[in-house]
Structure 1
């Protein structure tokens, strides 16, 4: 049964999946855990993975942004992926990591860190094992999901990094700036 206005399985893969490998070749995904669920991000979005370290809070940032880190001299905002998905803040544990990704259109790429509970592995997933995102029944917005991948006998939620980390959307939910002291009323 085909749902109206939904891509048919295996014909319209997410752009970031379809453009990186020859037709039929497996795509590589970094898999990680978040709040007990398995997620994956296309490996070409990943710059690096670092051990969770102190994040410096920044006033007036959206609640999803926990602060910034210094990454070899560059200031990188760090997003709590759990909060972005409408859940409670991530409880930092000994396996917690910050996954550094690049997002945004070519020429306007942004580097952002995502807090995850644990990084698992890099997994090859053939296009035949990637299904479109379901329109219901998920614990996160279907807009954030590029598809559902089958790997190693389990399902992985394949995230669309550009949508999850949309800089314009994150900026829109930032608190409004306070008026300057002494400003005319």
Structure 2
């Protein structure tokens, strides 16, 4: 799998490179009242309104403000059988690399801070573990709560 690797909360994640449209520096974010806690707001991407997600909130990690390394990864997923463009905050974007699917294993049931349905698997690359999230499920309306509580709100 050709993947873009990025850092969120000290963890390395990989998303399929073919779904990535672009990587942006931070842009103004418009907050949306009553949106799920993990939705940081809406951004303008080339004249198109795009929801922006903060996976730190979705995965029960501590919220932190953007810094010079923060990027927005814009990619396409399928929601309710429709292609949908979304943005995701990344603490840092690393590189595009090839991950051998043969190295991917199911997420362990013990010791994970994420709901198992959000994790496609744990892959190994260059001796490190990389979390491969199931982005369609992460962004689905059915999975709109955080990893720890459906009623948890974003701190910060």
**TM-score band, normalised by the shorter chain?**
0.7 to 0.9
| Local SS of the residue matching 1:31 | strand
Decide which of 30, 33, 39 is 2:7's aligned counterpart: 33
1:106 Cα deviation after fit: 8.1
Alpha-carbon deviations, 1:108-149, whole Å to 9, x = none? 111111111000011201122111222221121121111111
Show the counterpart of 1:55: 29
User: Equivalents in 2 of 1:170, 1:130: separation in Å?
Assistant: 26
| Local SS of the residue matching 1:131 | coil
Given the superposition, is the C-alpha separation of residues 168 and 110 from structure 1 closer, same or farther in structure 2, using an over 3 Å criterion? farther
Show the counterpart of 1:70: 44
Decide which of 61, 64, 80 is 2:54's aligned counterpart: 80
User: Equivalents in 2 of 1:160, 1:29: separation in Å?
Assistant: 13
Structure 2 stretches lacking a partner, 5+ long:
152-156
Q: How many residues align?
A: 147
Show the counterpart of 2:16: 42
Structure 1 stretches lacking a partner, 5+ long:
1-26, 175-185
Q: Normalization by structure 2: what TM-score?
A: 0.85
Alpha-carbon deviations, 1:6-32, whole Å to 9, x = none? xxxxxxxxxxxxxxxxxxxxx111111
Q: Cα RMSD between the aligned structures?
A: 1.9
